[in-house]
Amino acid sequence: MSADARSGVTPRRPPPMAPMGKARYRVMMTLVLVGLTLLAGRIVDLHVFDRPFLQGQGDARTLRTDTIPAHRGMITDRHGEPLAISTPVVTLWANPQDLPVDDIQRLMLARALGQELETLNERIARYAEREFMYLRRRLTPEAAQRVLDLRIPGVHAREEYKRYYPAGEVTAQLLGVTNIDDIGQEGLELAYQAHLAGVPGKRRVLKDRRGRLVRDLALLQEAQPGGDLTLALDQRLQYMAYRELKAAVAEHDADGGIVVMLDARSGEVLAMANQPSYNPNNRAGLDPQGLRNRAIVDIYEPGSVMKPLAMAAMLETGEVPADTVVDTAPGWMVIDRFTIKDIRNYGELSLAGILEKSSNIGMSKLALRLDDPVVPATYRAVGLGQSPGTGFPGEAAGSIPAPARWSSSQWAALSYGYGLSVSALQLASAYTAIANDGRRLPPSLLKLGQAPAGEQAIDAGVARRVLGMMDQVVEPGTGARRALVPGYRVAGKTGTVRKTDAGGYQQKAYRSLFVGIAPVSDPRIVTVVMIDHPRGESYYGGAVAAPVFSRVAGNALRLLDVPPDAREPES
């Protein structure tokens, strides 16, 4: 029993609702029900009909497809020693709109990046309307982590790779360089970009609104590393050749120089050194002249180093007997109003004597005996006037004048190395024909599985005879005596040629050359040395280029473990 009943008090009932109140109540309930119905409908609409759209919008704000950088292929020498490798680095970037405006945080960021606060603020202001800007590229992982540890909003990291060249300036022009995006720009890095470059991978990740990684969701595509490249180069010979070339250029105060060494049995490039050079790992203050691989892309008149090849052409005709003697007196002659001179009057010279004394008169008289221009035909047969076919960017083809332009003076000039242009690589390749019984081997920058067959450019007997003449050129007492290599027989030829410019031949500006084959008994290397514009006491090839050949070839033969073949001393 309730308390009101026990007390005898009758409870009061609420008064009946007035008709107007009932109407208002019904309206309010109707509105609530309509609102709930609309809300339920909207929920159904969003979850059923608009779900794909909303899902896409949400994913667009949180799901990202990140690129996985691909490792660039390694370049090695013929023995597997690394010449170009890729190392992991970190690039820091930022969303300028998320960076704090607080000066203290910006100062901390600037110091960690190694920048001035004013410089950083200027860059942020310049990119204020964008959502991306680089802070620093290619930092070491340790240096990047020091910046990330500051936990400054808007700063993010991206993994990349950076190219590193262990040999530095020693192989710079041959290998070339990559740009900041690891794309080949020069040399073999450019020539084999498609082979060396990998295929980037992809991954699906979840990020927050500030772009920070929350979770890896899925690997969409694995990164495919680039292919490796094995060069014919022997790093030991390359270091040695570069060292000797650099010392010679400094000694003679020259503009530059080249050393090219080919394997006489395969045509592979064992060494290719250039001066001047540069450090590809630090390109600050880089001189563009140092980028050029002069051994392949530069051409010049070769001068007297062409005489053995011209002699081979003449002997092949059968019109110049092996016992021919040429009277070179009085040491000069006039052809087509052009005066040709020797250094002195050598009188009567044998064919070997013409090469030993490097007589322009002797070569000219032999050339003018022939009815047909056989010399340029032989030059073409040994690969001159055409691309070497190495695939190196910008490789020079050189030039040989067209037959319609030949005159008696041009016939003569071609026989002693003027009137045509060649590269150092072409010259070395041409001499593989002398070293291989007349078979010319195309040059190769890549290591070969087996030696190519080559092309028979010169008669085998003629090639051996010319090799014997060149053997006599490099003897004690000759102008090429400084090319002698203790313990080995060397066949070679000196050359000294005047430089040209837009106005013609320069005064007192020369190139000093030497081409050598060693050892004579079983040729293993063909080497070309060129010193550009030596300013020392002498500029002749026998005095400037021949000593470089002696040191380079001597060291190379010992490193290659080639047995000595020196002549037995005469009794």
337 dihedral zone (left: phi>0; alpha: psi -120 to 50; beta): left
What distance in Å separates the CA atoms of residue 275 and residue 256, rounded to the nearest whole number? Answer: 5
Decide: 162 and 182 in contact? Cβ < 8 Å.
Answer: yes
Q: Which residue has the tokens 């053995």?
A: 308
How long, in residues, is the chain? Answer: 571
Sign of CA pseudo-dihedral 185, 187, 193, 197: negative
What residues form DSSP beta bridges with 67?
202
**Phi/psi at 167 (nearest 5 deg)?**
-85, -10
Closest CA to 298 of 432, 421, 177: 421
* Buried-exposed string 439-465: b where 16+ CB fall within 10 A, e elsewhere: bbbebbbbbeeeeeebeebbeeebbeb
Of 524, 514, 513, 529, which Cα lies nearest the Cα of 558? 524
Please answer whether residues 414 and 420 qualify as being in contact, where contact means their C-beta atoms are separated by less than 8 angstroms.
yes
Query: Do residues 198 and 225 lie in contact, with contact meaning Cβ atoms separated by under 8 Å?
Result: yes
Other residues' Cβ atoms within 10 Å of the Cβ of residue 57: 11
Residue 570: helix, strand or coil by DSSP? coil
Q: What is the DSSP letter of 338?
A: E
Identify the active-site residue in 86, 266, 304, 358.
304
Count the Cβ atoms, other than its own, within 10 Å of residue 343. 13
Name the residue with tokens 């005064």: 507
DSSP string, 60-83: HHHEEEEEEPPPPPPEE-TTS-EE
Residue holding tokens 């300036």? 169
As a whole number of Å, the end-to-end CA separation of the chain is 153
User: Is residue 434 exposed (0-12), middle (13-18) or buried (19+ Cβ within 10 Å)?
Assistant: buried
Q: Which of 242, 180, 189, 148 has the alpha carbon at shortest distance from 548?
A: 242
450: helix, coil or strand? coil
Is position 421 annotated as part of the catalytic site? no
CA angle, residues 473, 474, 480, in degrees to nearest 5? 90
* 283 closest CA partner among 193, 186, 392: 186
Dihedral angle, C-alpha 395, 401, 403, 404, nearest 10 °: 120
Beta strands at 504-518 and 525-532: parallel, antiparallel or unpaired: antiparallel
CB count in 10 Å sphere of residue 218: 9
Catalytic residue annotation: 304
